[in-house]
């Protein structure tokens, strides 16, 4: 298994607090997959305004976290180092479970096809083995 801490992730992704939504990468294979985690705490900035009476992580931020993990898998390829991954699309997205403070969100992205700068991946976010979100994400690799 290949591990990346927050400092290594920041060398790959341009995102910074509060928009860097991956705490660490547990395993990856460049151009194939990456598995990362987001440890969700009550102190997240978005909880102040997203259902303060019942804090729930916004679904769009879960999708963004999945895209960031997918981007790590793609941007670790030698030919993509130093480039950026832009959102290109979301298909077949389903939200199945709330993500709340205290959850350890597992983020898995597997590349299913790549043609030039366009990469499509299957992404799954889960908590304790229970799927929270599943989607097909498209990234465009650019300068």
* Residues recognised as catalytic: 50
Structure tokens at 105: 């969100």
The mean of the pLDDT values for the chain is 97
Structure tokens at 39: 């440890």
Residue 1: is its pLDDT beyond 90?
no
Residue 27: is its pLDDT beyond 90?
yes
Alpha-carbon gap, residue 132 to 140, rounded angstroms: 25
Q: 3-state DSSP call for residue 103?
A: coil
Read off the pLDDT of residues 72-131 as tens digits, 9 standing for 90 and up: 999 999 999 999 999 999 999 999 999 999 999 999 999 999 999 999 999 999 999 999
Rounded to an integer, the average pLDDT of 22-41 is 98
């Amino acid at each position: 298994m290949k591990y990346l801490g927050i400092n290594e992730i920041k060398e790959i992704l341009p995102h910074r607090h509060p928009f860097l939504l991956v705490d660490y990468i547990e395993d990856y294979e460049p151009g194939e997959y990456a598995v990362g985690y987001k440890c969700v705490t009550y102190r997240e900035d978005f909880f102040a305004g997203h259902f303060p009476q019942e804090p729930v992580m916004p679904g769009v931020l879960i999708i963004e976290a999945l895209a960031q993990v997918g981007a790590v898998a793609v941007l670790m390829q030698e030919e993509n180092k130093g480039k950026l991954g832009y959102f290109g699309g979301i298909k077949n997205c389903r939200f199945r479970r709330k993500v709340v403070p205290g959850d350890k969100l597992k983020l898995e992205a597997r590349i299913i096809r790549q043609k030039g700068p366009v990469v499509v991946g299957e992404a799954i976010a889960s908590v304790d083995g229970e799927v929270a979100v599943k989607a097909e994400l498209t990234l465009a690799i650019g300068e």
